């Protein structure tokens, strides 16, 4: 993987572990010579992620909607900064520029990005790995819910492994690098649906 889109928000949680985690992920991607594609912000976890990658000499590509640039939250220290009209364009560029997706603990926007990456993998709009860094057990309930959807029959057997979740970054990146894309819905027979 030459570039990974990392999903995380601009919030600064009271628990400092989340900022430290974002910074460490940015540093490690740069150390591995993996470019970072992210939301283009300079605040909170986004800023820590980009700051870690930049400090370690990494490539950092920010993709930010126009409305957030006006609020002076854009990170102009990025290697490249793409300003786009809205969130749909932002997510499309994330997909176009990256070789995979890595989700850090986050809120509503982060979840929106994760689920769209999963949905697009199911449909065959991309064949890239979708990683979830389950640091501190943050995503335990989300992973349980995903299992519940599968057990109930709302996630097809072919797609139950789309989310690659690990609590440690090294193992997650190794599993993402070994990713084999599932058969997308667009290539399935009616009897498989």
Parent domain of 66: 3-192
Q: How far apart are CA 6 and CA 133, in angstroms?
A: 10
Predicted pLDDT of residue 191: 73
| pTM for this entry | 0.94
Question: Mean of the pLDDT values across residues 1-8?
Answer: 97
Q: Which residues are registered as beta bridge partners of 4?
A: 36
Q: How far is the C-alpha of 85 from the C-alpha of 65, rounded, in Å?
A: 5
Total structural domains in the chain? Answer: 1
Q: What is the CATH number of the domain that holds 67?
A: 3.40.50.450
Q: What is the pLDDT of residues 85-124, one digit of tens each?
A: 999 999 999 999 999 999 999 999 999 999 999 999 999 9
Q: Say if strands 101-103 and 35-38 run parallel, antiparallel, or are unpaired.
A: unpaired
Task: Find all residues with CB under 8 Å of 191, minimum gap 6, and list them.
Answer: none
- Beta bridge partners, 62, equal 38, 81
**Over the Cα atoms of the chain, what is R_g?**
16
pLDDT value for 35: 98
Of the listed ranges 67-71, 100-104, 119-123, 163-167, the least confidently predicted one is 67-71
pLDDT tens-digit profile of 150-162? Answer: 999 999 988 999 9
| Model confidence at 40: pLDDT above 80 | yes
pLDDT at residue 162, rounded to an integer: 97
How many CA atoms within 13 Å lie on the side-chain side of 13?
A: 16
Mean pLDDT estimate for the chain: 95
Residue 17 has pLDDT above 90, yes or no: yes
């Amino acid at each position: 993987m030459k570039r990974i889109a990392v999903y995380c928000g601009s919030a600064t949680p009271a628990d400092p572990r989340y900022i430290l985690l974002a910074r460490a992920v940015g540093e490690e991607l740069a150390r591995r010579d993996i470019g970072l594609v992210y939301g283009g912000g300079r605040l909170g976890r986004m800023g820590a992620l980009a700051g870690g990658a930049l400090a370690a000499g990494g490539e950092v590509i920010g993709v930010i909607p126009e409305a957030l640039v006006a609020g002076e939250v854009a990170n102009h220290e990025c290697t490249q900064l793409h300003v786009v009209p809205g969130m749909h364009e932002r997510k499309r560029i994330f997909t176009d520029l990256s070789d995979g997706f890595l989700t850090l603990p986050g809120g509503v926007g982060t979840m929106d990005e994760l689920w769209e990456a999963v949905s697009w993998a199911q449909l065959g709009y991309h064949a890239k790995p979708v990683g979830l860094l389950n640091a501190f057990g943050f995503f335990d309930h989300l992973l349980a819910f995903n299992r519940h959807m599968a057990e109930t029959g709302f996630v097809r057997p072919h797609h139950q492994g789309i989310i690659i979740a690990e609590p440690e970054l090294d193992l997650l990146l190794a599993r993402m690098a070994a990713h084999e894309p599932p058969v997308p819905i667009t290539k399935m027979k009616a009897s498989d649906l």
